[in-house]
Homo-oligomer: A and B are copies of this chain.
Amino acid sequence: MLGLDTADLKKAEKGINKNYLPLMLRYQQVRQLSERLCQPLASEDYVIQTVPDVSPPKWHLAHTSWFFEQFILIPNLKGYSPFHPMYGYLFNSYYESAGQFWPRFQRGLLSRPTVAEIYEYRQHIDENMASLAIQMEAKEEWETLITPLIELGVNHEQQHQELLLADLKHIFATNPLRPAYQKLARSDLKEGAEIKGLDWCKFKGGLFFIGHVGKDFAYDNEGPSHQVYLQPFRLARRLITNGEYLAFMEAGGYQEPRYWLSDGWSFARQQNWQAPLYWEQQHENWWYMTLNGMRPVWKEAPVCHLSYYEADAYARWVGYRLPTEAEWEMAAQTLPCQGNFLDSGMLQPLPASIIAGDTLDQVFGDVWEWTGSPYIPYPGYQPLSGAMSEYNGKFMCNQMILRGGSCLSTRDHLRASYRNFFPPHSRWQFTGLRLATDA
């Protein structure tokens, strides 16, 4: 690793020298976190792909390294030659402009490179990133060209940390032995809390700005900032719980087409959905797989691993609807980014706090909230130039927007304008819902 420590950071903060230190320290912390998240894994866990949406953990470790190699080191570090001539082919995810790539659905067919070789690859990238910083920090391109790419690469790796854990959950849940990633007891997670009935926060209509503003990092798809006209609306104070969702199931929600979008009904019938992903019925009780192992379904905790179709059907059944992304963002703009994140180490969504007042709860963290908004570009959207134009723009079709982050997201990776997106049938991410209604 880079070998930076807190002393270095303090120097940097004092601005004494080495202006690259804060960025590279952040780089180092994120890179180390990826590896720390893999500490509970056996070599075998790194290799497999249980469904095409899931990538093997070692692929995540390699791909995030390739991102720095391909887009930063190769074009900018003098004398750098790729660690291995085939890794570009093996670890490019979907960048057509960066050349051909191994098919996504076959990522689990590769026993080599081994896990050890991939850790060597990471080491090699990190060392060369350090060289690059030293070599270039005085040059103008450092600020204009390299810094934004490192920022993007670091955020990219944070996204993959969340994916890695969600994928691991799928890998462990597929296995009849149901291995646990970690084993926090329920008492370690949160005090048992009685959840109150749903109440609402009211918002006025009018013209509002949404979209990212300011100089902090944001993805291209969060801008440009622009005006939208909203009618008055209300949002539920907290997320829908497992207990509430169970009521929908018991009322025949999965048997009754009238609550469902047509595509959703047909998909649910085809896949024989009867409950959220990872739920299993044992002797009339519902259990679910978590990163803390198999557990009885926790009724007060937010429902998770729903597709958009299920979230939408639930909302229709209960007489409400999902928020639009503009409603959600307007409501979240003034709230602090607090909540149950990866940083807490709980790795599962937790019950809402019992809070007074008229504030939204669980806005950030716990589960990604499906909105009723398809993922399309904002007015005037321009993708980044070059290869990075493929980062977000080409996926703006057939996906729905999710907002707010989950218990697998890092706190400093999120903000109110953050737009996540998945196809409406996806369930393996930590996805749930908050209700909305016209005021």
Listed in ascending order, the chain A residues whose CB lies under 8 Å from chain B are 42-48, 50, 58, 86, 89-90, 94, 96-97, 102, 108-115, 171, 174-177, 179, 207, 226-229, 231, 257-258, 260-265, 308-309, 312, 372-374, 376-377, 379-380, 389-390, 394-398, 424, 438
When distances are taken between beta carbons in the complex, the residues of chain B under 8 Å from A308 are 397
Q: Is the CB of B108 within 8 A of A44?
A: no
The distance in angstroms between the C-alpha atoms of A308 and B374, with both chains bound, is 15
Q: Is the CB of B177 within 8 A of A261?
A: no
Given A44-B114, A397-B263, is A374 in contact with B376 using a C-beta cutoff of 8 Å?
A: yes
Choose one: B44, B174, B263, B312; the contact of A47 (CB below 8 Å): B44
Q: Is the CB of A260 within 8 A of B111?
A: no
Nearest residue in B to A256 (C-beta to C-beta)? B96
- Copies per complex? 4
Q: Is the CB of B97 within 8 A of A258?
A: yes
Q: Is the CB of A398 within 8 A of B263?
A: yes
Given A96-B257, A231-B380, A424-B398, is A176 in contact with B90 using a C-beta cutoff of 8 Å?
A: yes
When distances are taken between beta carbons in the complex, the residues of chain B under 8 Å from A380 are 231, 438
Q: Is the CB of B115 within 8 A of A44?
A: yes
Besides A263-B398, A374-B374, 20 other A-B contacts (C-beta < 8 A): A42-B111, A43-B44, A43-B114, A44-B47, A44-B111, A45-B111, A47-B47, A48-B109, A89-B176, A96-B257, A109-B174, A110-B175, A111-B175, A112-B179, A227-B229, A228-B229, A231-B380, A264-B397, A308-B397, A312-B397
